[in-house]
Structure 1
Amino acid sequence: MNTTKKTVYLCLALLVPVFLIFLFTFFARTQHTLPVYFAYDSTETERGYIITDAHRIPAYTLTDQNGDAFKSTAYDSSFKVYDFVFTRCGSICPEMTTQMIRVQEAFKHDKDVVLISLTVDPEHDSSEVLQRYAKQYNAIPGKWYFLTGEKDTIYTLGQRQFFLTAKQNEEDLTDFLHSERIVLVDKNGWIRGYYTGTNEKDVDRLITELKVLQKIERDAKRK
């Protein structure tokens, strides 16, 4: 074997492992799988187990910042991004709402994505108060809804359906306890992600994973 051939084979021997490592790294980063939280039924396929049913956020009716009835069933064909806040909150709420602005900006042209912020202080946060709050944070009408209503309804949704803290502080009735989590819900009503609403990188992950869900849906429609 001449020197030229030896050199070629040596280069190939060195480059092939590098190329394989690159492919593995690339696909590991781009093949994003999203969990289905609180799944309780699945079916086995050639590609493994597929979730067929899971905990669903139930239908509810509350009131939005315009004073209109907000029926959740009207958004069954949308991806939903939820959080729980209140307008008098001076701690984590401003940061959470600022991060929700970033989500709104990322999907402002996507008709199948809505943002929903529920107040945990509904006795104070009337539609009028929420409307001012929405304008303060440049919420796009028809894209980002701020909801108020019966306290029991909102607290039950938060605690028993989203599995988050959402309640009045028993030691200080002017204070309210709520999670800093932002929640991603798909078109099945399944919870697909929890994200720290005060952490920019975690909200980046939310944006990425919502785009993944959109792509999965588009790819499924092409088949």
Structure 2
Amino acid sequence: MILYPAIDLKDGACVRLYKGEMDQATVFNDNPAAQAKAFEDAGCEWLHLVDLNGAFAGAPVNGSAVEAILAAISVPAQLGGGIRDIATIETWLAKGLARVILGTIAVRDPELVKQAARAFPGKIAVGIDARDGMVAVEGWAETTDIAALDLARKFEDAGVAAIIYTDIDRDGAMQGPNVTATADLANAVSIPVIASGGVSSLDDLRALKNSGAALDGAISGRALYDGRISVAEAVSLLKA
């Protein structure tokens, strides 16, 4: 399993939200590039970037911060938030992103996701953000009547590199991940699944690793910023 430290960008700074609420943001670093380099220096092998403003705006907003991060690191990074057309995907991949994450557009236009996965093999991930098992879109502001598992199954055999599954009610709440729902999703599809939301201790990472599903990795944010999880220890645990 891979540890994906999260850098959530709001107004150019690294923040963490509480259960996806934009008005409950804690700023952890006003220099995202320095934070990214610190994560790399600590031993992480990937970074997970989110343009929070972009998720609400429907178009990239924190582009300059993302570009600064890409210039500062040598490890691969994936980005989600406001990426909703082929041109934007192409632009970001050309700037050096290893993978783009499509969330809202995966609900609105699944065929675009499949087209992108064919055009950019290995570089398209689908972000499935769920509240009580139902998919939420538009920066989590709107909950749909689509079940997370039903959405995931739409992309079987489409060439999608990964699914990032986030339990919104666990995100930033330090309550532990939804291990059961994540494992159930991973066991129901052949696409690699990355767990997100609520990872706040090494025990949480251990639980995901021993969930009975072959998860690709886990995303953690707040716990890395406040020192509850050491990047080096987490990487070592997940590699063991």
User: Shared fold by TM > 0.5?
Assistant: no
| Higher RCO (C-alpha 8 Å, min separation 6) | 1
Q: Which band: TM-score by shorter chain?
A: under 0.3
Structure 1 length as normaliser, TM-score? 0.28
Structure 2 length as normaliser, TM-score? 0.26
Between structure 1 and structure 2, the one with the greater Rg is: 1
